Structure 1
Amino acid sequence: MSNWWRRLNSTWGALVLFTGLAALFYLPLLLGLRTFPDGDFTHHFLPFSLFQQQEWLAGRFLPMWNPFTYGGHPFLADVQAAVFYPLGDLLLLLTLPFTGAGTRLYFLQVEAVIHVALAGFFMFLFVRDLSGHRRGGLVAGVLFAFSGYLTGYPPLQLAILRTAIWLPLILWLLIRAFSEPHRWRWWTGAILAYATALLAGHPQTFLHLSYAVGAWILLLFLTQRRKDAKVRILGTFAFCTLPFALSAVQWLPSWEFTQSSVRAAVDYAFVSGGFPIRDTWQMVFPDILTQFSPLYVSAVGLVLAVVALWQVAGGAPRRSPVPSPQSPVPILLFTLTALLLSFGGNAFLYPIFYRFAPGWDLFRGQERAAFLVVFGLSVLAGIGAVALTRLSSRGRRGVAIGAILSIICGAGIVYAFLQGNGQTAVDNATFAQIAGISLIFAAATAALLWQPGWSRRRTALLVALAFANLLWAGFDTNLNAFGPARKTILSPEMAALQAAVDARNDANLGLPGRVYNEFRVYEDYGMRLGVEDVWGSSPLRSARYARLFDNFPLDRLWQLTGVEHVLTWRRELFGPSELLAEFPQATDTTFLHRLPDPFPRAWVVSQIHVADDDEAVALLADSAFDLRSTVILAPEESNLPAGTEIPLGPPGVANIQLQRPAPNHLHVDVSSAHGGLLVVSEVWFPGWRIENVTCNGCDLGDAPLRANLTFLGVFLSPGQTTFDLVYRPESVRLGLSISVVSAVILLGVLYWWRGRR
């Protein structure tokens, strides 16, 4: 009992420690004195969080559709929204009444800090068991949590941070599951952790994590005793399948969305970017080449990683050709592989993975494999911290001297080939300071190694030294000069635009006209202001809709999307406009225009032209093509060959009224003497449904057509017609059903297994 209590106390003590260290590292954020700098965190993830909060407060807990970006966007299916991510949802639920943008920004930053603390704690659990000592877990946890990677751009790209932290927890739970295969709580924990990583919202990091987990499972199978092999196989099968079933409610809609998005087809040139080879120097000297140093785990960490490798070089020969999981060899091979992959097309390995390894041809930014590099280096350092006591005094002094000489020689090489040639991002004085401080930390680590023996006090000093090293390197990397309240003050342009749109909130058939923001304010501003824009910043968007922004005439784009207000750098537009306001900037001026005769958000046409997508783009761009009289349908929508012309009846006037009771819901009321085809300037996706139809003997069908390349189309009969357009994808219903049934089955199996025992 006493051993169990000491272990539990040790575990909770580590959680408190990492929470405290994370709070210290991000103290200015937690005190509300600073914020993360402008970027994806403030301009993408904050609007996402605000929109989800507004939907929850309205009682809509499955926010399907976001009308405020890209002319309409499938919010739930956008994986970065992470609608079902448990930790983010829990914090949102606890802070739901706080609706201010500044407060929401503060709590979102708190979420990032919590994730950094959990990253350290999860790594502690993993390396403590792997190395057999608490010292290794503490060192590895500090290095991983506060590495140049996890404190660099992942906090700003919150989805990366949310996903990455689960790797050490999954590996730890798998160690326990393979060593005690009949205890299904370990398998269940691993299943839930893996499912949570999938729900966290960054598929590329999840891919990296999955390859690491797969390699770990293979190593465990190769090194475990054959006893209970069937149970391990069953547990592994459950681990590989149930997380995808539990998270089907997210990935099924996301997969459906991806198939019609701009990421459905990408080439090697797009995805093969990675670190330049020279960026490897930032493993030793942070910030000398770029703002972020994602490969940096401190001078202390590098010295300890060398100790782990020294142990291998001087150890007894292995009896088995397969190294054990506790050996540094698999981690070293893993780290080197990840480092080579992080270079992308600049090294030989990524082209092989691109061609033969599933998933590696889908994502750009191969430098994000730095996540696995710092993970591997942190584990090696943790193993090295434990191996210290097994090294001879001569060996420890050799490592100490080697560490100091390596920093000195490295500084000389960098100066000779990079700094002296002006190829770094810092001046000579700054480089000398960075090299000098790195040398001080290496020398301090060497001093700890030099003395014989070891003690708890020296362990504490080692952990503190590693944290201090990383605090020096990364403390101010992501700190902006303002607190949340000031950061979220609306710019004059945004305030004026919101007032202009609100003044005409039902002027376009009952809806406001859309806005064309020509990069004058951040792209996702509409989600905060409730303004419907044609732009957005999500990396996923409809591929067909994106074609309207590729060498496409702006006036035709504005007509197709129902734009009424334009925020631009242009004082004069190429058509009639009313200049509402102008805002001088440091280098240019922003102008707010209103179009006096905006195109309607919906209209009825009397003729159909059947064309494929390429011809549709050309016709829509041609000012001679009359949008008000003719609509373009794809051959698969009309069941007719391209080039077919279909008259629907004589042209006539239609009275149209639109209402938006909810973001995913449009109520349509049309009165047309001759009928025709109604075009609605809302972006088409699979999942739009026609419901609650009221008309005389008409059949509108179950779903709208894809009209004018990427918008909604509904056939109308003569007379009065009312109906609802509702975005409710079948993939969400199916995914939710699979997730619920899987959860029930998992709970049932656990209950049965517990009763059986």
Structure 2
Amino acid sequence: MILLFAALVWLAAFVIALARRRASDAWRDVLAIGGIGAATAGFFWRLLAGHVWMPAGGGDLAQFLYPTYAFAAEWWRRGIAPLWNPYLFAGAPFVGDPQSGIFYPLNLLTFFIAVPLTFRDLEYLSVLHFFIAGAGMYAFLRWGQWQVEGSKFKVQSSTLEPRTLNLKLARPAALAGALAFEFSDLFITHFGNLNLIAVVSWMSLVVLFYRRAITDRRASFAAIAGVLLALAFFAGHIQSFLFIVLTLVLLAIWQSIDRRRTTDDEDKLSSFILHPSSFLLVVALIAFGLAAPALLPSIEFTQNTVRATYEYEQAAQYSLPPAQLIGLFVPGFFGRGPQNAWGPWDRVEVGYLGVLPLLLAFLALVLRRDAPTRFFGALALIGLALALGGYAILHGWLYQIVPGFGQLRAPARFIVLMDFALATLAAFGFDALLRALPRASEVAFKRIVRAAPWVFLLIALPSGALAYSNLILGQGQDAILFARIANATNALAFFILLFALSVALLIARATRFFRPRAWATLTLALIFFDLFSLGAYVDASTDDPTRVFDHPNAVAFFKSDGSFFRVDPRGTGVDNVWTPDTSILYGIFDVNGDNPLMLAEFDRYWEKMGSRSARAYDLLNAKYLIARKSAPVDRAKFKLAFEDAAFNIHENTRVLPRAFVVHAVRVVPDRASALDAVRADDFDLAQSVVLEIAVSYQPSAISGQPPALSGVEGSAVRIVGYGPNEILLDVDAPSAGVLVLSEVFYPGWRAWVSDLSPSPSPLRRGEKETKVLRANYLFRAVEISAGAQRVRLLYDPGSFKIGAGLFAVTVAVLISWFVWKAKKK
């Protein structure tokens, strides 16, 4: 459905452009963008035809994003923005998790038009973002004004675009760069990381409008760049978002240096207003204001996750090994898909974007030698140096100097900066070859062409001979080793073929063997053949990855229990049958989950509580343990409750309820003391609570006589309403006490208490706010008085409210500004 919607939008644009073809040839560009759409459909033809599933095994798309988005879609369709996720890890912020994508417009559109949301819908959403990346790159190359005004490159009379302005790249060149970027290695490797590729897909358009703000001296373009940058943030991947920000900063530095070198503006005020850094400030302010509802909670949340304390060794995980750089030319040498990948390192992206695009990028550096070419050459080197991560020094410096940089893993993803730059340079090189070269460039090009066949032979003959000799000698060896040799040989042979065809096309251009139109068509065809042959069938499978979620009998058993409880499949050997996020798909509460941004205090509580036999475990309200059939279980505490085909379900006979009242309090001075108290063998968690601040009433002393009323049995607690942001409880307590909830404490939770007595006193009538206390190190508690009362807890984070206010102000300013600009015209 989402792809059909995108096709209709393109069709409407094409019809409008075609109707105005006498005044403009924009219809040709719309048609070219349609060609990118057709190429995207051709690349994913097996998926769109329903023959395969991607990625194979589901990856993060199935195991993490599908359950996450299904949860968000369900509550959005009910008219509620889910700010809190109560189903995983005993509860955690949802609005603060940057990966949730709950405000991303394309996600919201999908949530409402795809009912119910399926895994196929997310596959189609990934495909759509491939197209956005390609179309955005085409626009970036066509309208970024990368041809320097006054350039010596002149449009040939026989070129494809006799009416093209000098500042535009030729359409075939822009198409080549768009295909190279869209189907580059980061996108192919991360098809299943929808949020990652969604953010990167907007990179070209953000940089385009910032560039045009500088070249055209128009703040409105900077405003559009800010809107698009906020849109990218909402897509939900912090690291990719920072890639765009880093590119903008580097572009601003280069444009500032280039501006000082090429202009002499005596008007200091005008010079300041029109300075690249001023436009960057506009982009930053607008992006910050629009993204604030998600950005501010994310900043708060990430400081409370396990990543906040990453050491450098953790931050440098998934660096690009130098030995894998051969993948820039031979992507399958170490196996491109996860099924065939091998080597003594983690599988990472290597930056492949085609053999011919690499040669064209090299030609751009030789033939153009202008400021934009030098900038993108430098950007490619910076991206490569950062992608090496722990293998090079630059990444370590940034870890030490840049705040928050240490919370990001997988430095290899910085390779997207190199791919973005190389795809741009490839378009520059292609464009240069479609134009009449200056004499010096023509001489340099012919020298390269004369040397190319010898370089080809120098590479192809020894490498081919070595590969085939290893293949022949490898027969009879270990089957896995021989398969790797065979795959590497195939990959090398295909590279030799592509290299030969690329050299042949360059020779044809130098000798003018083909007309420009024919040569451009053949060049595009070879790039298409290269990228599609090596990427279209990577990481695909005929097995439905969502079958792992099908457990009708176990789900029916859980649903038959009318109480509030959690399940516990954590570390019990069932991840391959009951995946960590399965519970959220069925509305089952869980102590487990699949999220790299786990709350640090939950992780610490789990690690320090001891075994499941410990009483601290029972506070988690984990009533059912899901474990493989051979898993060791404390039989004195857990009894077999249900047998599924793939696992057993054991009932915790000592589980504590989701909410209960206690009358004894121990006050401790700090968080560490609270955890020690909870773990103490002589502390009765069913009767008492550990708090870090004193309460107003006089509780029973822990060290004295036990309280007259049992904490669990003496009071009645009933949960009457439960949603992602709000909990309603009716409490009837014979005496004042503390309502303890097996709900994770987190800033932003508020509580109100109202009297439910038949004739409440005037002083107690109405709802009164009370403080949410941190109880038993990890959980929430509310002080209550004697009698019948209703307790309402609401997740109402200040960071979100401030962000929503900033969003409203920014939208109002933008609307006012554009209305004023329109009236001024």
Q: Does 1:72 align with 2:91?
A: yes
Supply the distance in 2 between the matched residues of 1:443 and 1:578 (Cα, whole angstroms): 68
**Of the candidates 233, 239, 242, which is equivalent to residue 286 of structure 2?**
242
Please list every run of 5 or more consecutive structure 2 residues that lacks an aligned counterpart in the other structure. 1-16, 148-168, 338-348
Q: CA deviation at 1:538?
A: 1.6
Q: Does 1:619 align with 2:677?
A: yes
Q: CA deviation at 1:412?
A: 6.2
Given that residues 76 and 250 in structure 1 are in contact (C-alpha distance below 8 angstroms), is that contact kept between their aligned partners in structure 2? yes
Q: Which residue of 1 aligns with 2:49?
A: 31
Q: CA deviation at 1:310?
A: 2.7
Q: Does 1:590 align with 2:647?
A: yes
Q: Which residue of 1 aligns with 2:529?
A: 468
**Of the candidates 126, 130, 152, which is equivalent to residue 140 of structure 2?**
126
Supply the distance in 2 between the matched residues of 1:430 and 1:249 (Cα, whole angstroms): 48
Change in 2 beyond 3 A, CA 1:355/1:646 = farther
Supply the distance in 2 between the matched residues of 1:276 and 1:442 (Cα, whole angstroms): 24
Given that residues 608 and 648 in structure 1 are in contact (C-alpha distance below 8 angstroms), is that contact kept between their aligned partners in structure 2? no
* Structure 2 residue matching 1:535: 3-state secondary structure: coil
Given that residues 400 and 443 in structure 1 are in contact (C-alpha distance below 8 angstroms), is that contact kept between their aligned partners in structure 2? no
* Structure 2 residue matching 1:68: 3-state secondary structure: coil
Q: Which residue of 2 aligns with 1:211?
A: 246
Q: CA deviation at 1:175?
A: 2.3
Q: CA deviation at 1:210?
A: 0.7
TM-score (normalizing by structure 1) = 0.89
Supply the distance in 2 between the matched residues of 1:500 and 1:678 (Cα, whole angstroms): 29
Q: CA deviation at 1:445?
A: 1.3
Q: CA deviation at 1:70?
A: 0.7
Q: CA deviation at 1:42?
A: 0.5
Given that residues 174 and 427 in structure 2 are in contact (C-alpha distance below 8 angstroms), is that contact kept between their aligned partners in structure 1? yes
Supply the distance in 2 between the matched residues of 1:425 and 1:560 (Cα, whole angstroms): 54
Q: Which residue of 2 aligns with 1:318?
A: none
* Structure 2 residue matching 1:436: 3-state secondary structure: helix
- How many matched pairs? 724
Supply the distance in 2 between the matched residues of 1:162 and 1:375 (Cα, whole angstroms): 15
Q: CA deviation at 1:3?
A: 8.7
Q: Which residue of 2 aligns with 1:495?
A: 552
Q: Does 1:725 align with 2:793?
A: yes
Q: Which residue of 1 aligns with 2:618?
A: 559
Q: CA deviation at 1:413?
A: 11
AA paired with 2:195?
A
**Of the candidates 371, 374, 377, which is equivalent to residue 324 of structure 1?**
371
Given that residues 626 and 649 in structure 2 are in contact (C-alpha distance below 8 angstroms), is that contact kept between their aligned partners in structure 1? yes
Given that residues 335 and 488 in structure 2 are in contact (C-alpha distance below 8 angstroms), is that contact kept between their aligned partners in structure 1? no
**Of the candidates 493, 498, 510, which is equivalent to residue 436 of structure 1?**
493
Given that residues 602 and 678 in structure 1 are in contact (C-alpha distance below 8 angstroms), is that contact kept between their aligned partners in structure 2? yes
Q: Which one is further off, 471-480 or 741-750? A: 471-480
Q: Does 1:702 align with 2:765?
A: no
Matches within 5 A, 1:449-598: 449-451=506-508, 452-453=511-512, 454-482=515-543, 486-489=544-547, 491=549, 494-506=551-563, 511-517=564-570, 518=572, 520=574, 521-551=578-608, 552-555=610-613, 556-569=615-628, 570-574=630-634, 575-582=636-643, 590-598=647-655
AA paired with 2:651?
R
**Of the candidates 51, 56, 71, which is equivalent to residue 71 of structure 2?**
51
Q: Does 1:735 align with 2:803?
A: yes
* Structure 2 residue matching 1:263: 3-state secondary structure: helix
* Structure 2 residue matching 1:686: 3-state secondary structure: coil
Supply the distance in 1 between the matched residues of 2:293 and 2:703 (Cα, whole angstroms): 41
TM-score (normalizing by structure 2) = 0.82
Q: CA deviation at 1:436?
A: 0.8
Change in 2 beyond 3 A, CA 1:375/1:418 = farther
Given that residues 688 and 728 in structure 1 are in contact (C-alpha distance below 8 angstroms), is that contact kept between their aligned partners in structure 2? yes
**What RMSD in Å do the two structures reach over aligned CA positions?**
3.0
Given that residues 407 and 435 in structure 1 are in contact (C-alpha distance below 8 angstroms), is that contact kept between their aligned partners in structure 2? no
When Rg is computed on C-alpha atoms for both structures, the one with the higher figure is 2
**Residues 179-228 of structure 1: CA distance to partner in whole angstroms, max 9, x if unpaired?**
2114x442232111111112221111111211111111222233344555
**Residues 718-746 of structure 1: CA distance to partner in whole angstroms, max 9, x if unpaired?**
22221211212122222111101111111
Q: Which residue of 1 aligns with 2:193?
A: 157
* Structure 1 residue matching 2:61: 3-state secondary structure: helix
AA paired with 1:559?
D
Supply the distance in 1 between the matched residues of 2:129 and 2:415 (Cα, whole angstroms): 18
Q: Does 1:262 align with 2:282?
A: no
Question: Percent same amino acid at aligned positions?
Answer: 24
Supply the distance in 1 between the matched residues of 2:604 and 2:240 (Cα, whole angstroms): 28
AA paired with 1:747?
I
Given that residues 288 and 426 in structure 1 are in contact (C-alpha distance below 8 angstroms), is that contact kept between their aligned partners in structure 2? no
Matches within 5 A, 1:135-534: 135-153=172-190, 155-182=191-218, 184-224=219-259, 225=263, 229-233=271-275, 234-273=278-317, 274-292=319-337, 293-311=349-367, 324-325=371-372, 327=373, 329-389=374-434, 390=437, 391-392=442-443, 394-398=446-450, 400-401=452-453, 404-405=456-457, 407-408=459-460, 411=463, 427-451=484-508, 452-453=511-512, 454-482=515-543, 486-489=544-547, 491=549, 494-506=551-563, 511-517=564-570, 518=572, 520=574, 521-534=578-591
Change in 2 beyond 3 A, CA 1:720/1:407 = farther
Q: CA deviation at 1:117?
A: 0.8
Supply the distance in 2 between the matched residues of 1:582 and 1:221 (Cα, whole angstroms): 68
Q: CA deviation at 1:610?
A: 2.6
* Structure 1 residue matching 2:85: 3-state secondary structure: coil
Given that residues 246 and 743 in structure 1 are in contact (C-alpha distance below 8 angstroms), is that contact kept between their aligned partners in structure 2? yes
Q: CA deviation at 1:700?
A: 7.0
Q: Which residue of 1 aligns with 2:816?
A: 748
Q: Which residue of 2 aligns with 1:629?
A: 687
Q: Which residue of 2 aligns with 1:320?
A: none
Matches within 5 A, 1:640-651: 650-651=708-709
Matches within 5 A, 1:85-124: 85-95=104-114, 98-99=115-116, 104-124=118-138
Supply the distance in 2 between the matched residues of 1:475 and 1:537 (Cα, whole angstroms): 28
Given that residues 83 and 95 in structure 2 are in contact (C-alpha distance below 8 angstroms), is that contact kept between their aligned partners in structure 1? yes
Please list every run of 5 or more consecutive structure 1 residues that lacks an aligned counterpart in the other structure. 316-322
Change in 2 beyond 3 A, CA 1:631/1:662 = same
Q: CA deviation at 1:644?
A: 10
Q: Which residue of 2 aligns with 1:319?
A: none
Given that residues 305 and 381 in structure 1 are in contact (C-alpha distance below 8 angstroms), is that contact kept between their aligned partners in structure 2? yes
Q: CA deviation at 1:410?
A: 8.2
Supply the distance in 2 between the matched residues of 1:186 and 1:3 (Cα, whole angstroms): 25
Change in 2 beyond 3 A, CA 1:447/1:744 = same
Given that residues 648 and 676 in structure 1 are in contact (C-alpha distance below 8 angstroms), is that contact kept between their aligned partners in structure 2? no
**Of the candidates 60, 78, 82, which is equivalent to residue 40 of structure 1?**
60
Q: Does 1:654 align with 2:699?
A: no
AA paired with 1:457?
A
**Of the candidates 663, 681, 689, which is equivalent to residue 606 of structure 1?**
663
Supply the distance in 1 between the matched residues of 2:93 and 2:704 (Cα, whole angstroms): 32
